[in-house]
Amino acid sequence: MEDLPTSTIVALAGFAAGILFGATANRTNFCTMGAVSDMVLMGDRGRFRAWLLAMAIAILGSQTLHYFEIIDLKGSIYLTTNFGWLGAILGGLLFGFGMTMAGGCANKNLVRIGGGNLKSIMVVLIMGIFAYMTVRGLTGLLRVELETFSNIDLSASNLETQGMPDMLAAAVGMELETARIVLTGLITAALLIYCFKSADFRASPLNISGGLIIGLLVTAGWGITGVVGFDDFEPTPLSSFTFVNPAGESIQYLMIFTGTKINFGIATVGGVIVGSFLMALATRSFRIEAFQDKDDMLRHMFGAAIMGIGGVMSLGCTIGQGVTGMSTLAVGSLIALISIIIGGIMGMKYMEEGSLSGAITALFSRT
C-alpha cells in the first residue's frame, strides 16, 4: 500500500465505502424520493426520519472532524463565498421533479442497477451525460450565465464562507467556533428528537441502521479525502458522497480510463452498484426489470435529463446536498435541500393531476 499513489488509495477506500453504502441502501430501502413519497401520499414518515437521522449523524461527525482540525470543511465546494442561491433553487426544483419522473434519485438508481433494474441503467447514463454537459458542455453555457447573473460574493460582506456558523457569528458578534458548537448542537438535537420521538421509528431497526450507517459513511468520506487523501504535492479535493457529477465522470472514465485517473467520486459510484448487487444476491432479491412501455421509458429519460442538469446547478443531489452538503452547515445546501423536496412533491402531484398547473395548485392548496 505504501507504494501506491495517494489517489489510488483514496479510490480504494472510496470503493470500499461505496460497497457498504450500496449494501446498506439496498437492505434498508434507504431512498429520499421514497421517503418524501411515503410522507406525502401515505403519511408514513419512517424513511423520512431515516434520512434526517443520516443528516444528523453526518452533521455531528463532520463538524467534530472540522472542530478538531482533522479536516478543513472550508475546502469543500459547499462553503465557498460564491453564494449561488438561484442555482440552488432552480437546480433543486429540477432535480426533485426529475427524481419522481425517473423513479428515484441518483443514489436510488445506482442501488437499483445493482439489484438488476435495467431502467436505472438508462437513467444513470442519461443523468450522467446531462450532468457532464452542464459542467463542461452545451448546457454549461446556460449554467455559467446564470451564475454570473445571480451569484453573490459573500467576501464583500467579510464572510469567509457561506456556512451558518459564519453568518451567526457575524450577526450576533459571537466567536466563530462558539457559533459552530451552538448550531451543531441545536440542529443535531432537533433532528434526533424529531426522529426518535416516533415509537414506530424506534421500533424500526432497518430505518435506524440505515440512517446511522449512511450518516457515518458521509463522515468517513470527508475523512478519506481529507486525511487519507492529504498530499503536499497532489492533495485530493475534499469531498464526500454525492452522485450526479460523479456519474458523468464515471461514464467518461469507462470510455477513456487510460487517459485519466480514478477519483473518490467515481470509485463510490462503482462501489454502490457492487454493494447493492452483493446484497441483492445475499437476500435473493435480484430481479431483472425493464420498461413497461414507451411512455414509461420517455418519462424516465426526461426525469434523468433534468436530474443531471439540476444536480449540477444545485451542486448536489439528495445525498450530495441533503446529507453531505448539510453536514457542512452551508446555507446553499439548506436552500437546495428545501428546493429538492418541493420539486419532488410537485413531481408527485404532477403524476397525480396529469398537468403542471394542477400540480402547482395542489401543492399550494396543501400548504
Q: How would you classify the pairing of strands 82-83 and 152-153?
A: antiparallel
- The pLDDT of residue 106 is 93
Predicted TM-score (pTM) of the model is 0.93
Task: Give yes or no for a contact between 151 and 82, defined as CB atoms under 8 angstroms apart.
Answer: yes
Task: Give the Cα separation of 81 and 349 in Å (integer).
Answer: 36
- The pLDDT of residue 32 is 86
Nearest to 180 by CA among 75, 73, 77, 76: 73
- Cell 450518516 belongs to residue: 215
Length of the chain: 367
- The pLDDT of residue 359 is 59
Nearest to 346 by CA among 118, 116, 115, 96: 96
- The pLDDT of residue 361 is 62
Dihedral over Cα of 315, 215, 237, 137: its sign: negative
Nearest 10 degrees: Cα torsion 134, 136, 141, 142? 10
Q: Burial of 309 by CB count in 10 Å (0-12 exposed, 13-18 middle, 19+ buried)?
A: buried
Task: Give the Cα separation of 97 and 40 in Å (integer).
Answer: 14
Kindly write down the DSSP assignment for every residue of 260-304, as one continuous string.
Answer: S---HHHHHHHHHHHHHHHHHHHTT----B--SSHHHHHHHHHHH
- The pLDDT of residue 3 is 75
- The pLDDT of residue 366 is 55
Q: What is the pLDDT tens value at each position of the chain, 367 positions in all? A: 567 888 899 999 999 999 999 999 999 999 988 899 999 888 899 999 999 999 999 999 999 999 999 999 999 999 999 999 999 999 999 999 999 999 999 999 999 999 999 999 999 999 999 999 999 888 888 899 988 889 999 999 999 999 999 999 999 999 999 999 999 999 999 999 999 999 999 999 999 999 999 999 999 999 999 999 988 778 899 999 999 999 999 999 998 877 778 999 999 999 999 999 999 999 999 999 999 999 999 999 999 999 999 999 999 999 999 999 999 999 999 999 999 999 999 999 898 877 666 556 655 565 5
- The pLDDT of residue 138 is 84
Q: Burial of 258 by CB count in 10 Å (0-12 exposed, 13-18 middle, 19+ buried)?
A: exposed
Each domain of the chain, given as residue ranges in start order, spans 6-366
Dihedral over Cα of 313, 314, 317, 319: its sign: positive
Task: Give the Cα separation of 158 and 219 in Å (integer).
Answer: 29
- CA geometry: angle 282, 285, 286, nearest 5 deg: 90
Task: Give yes or no for a contact between 275 and 19, defined as CB atoms under 8 angstroms apart.
Answer: yes
- The pLDDT of residue 19 is 98
Task: Give yes or no for a contact between 276 and 25, defined as CB atoms under 8 angstroms apart.
Answer: yes
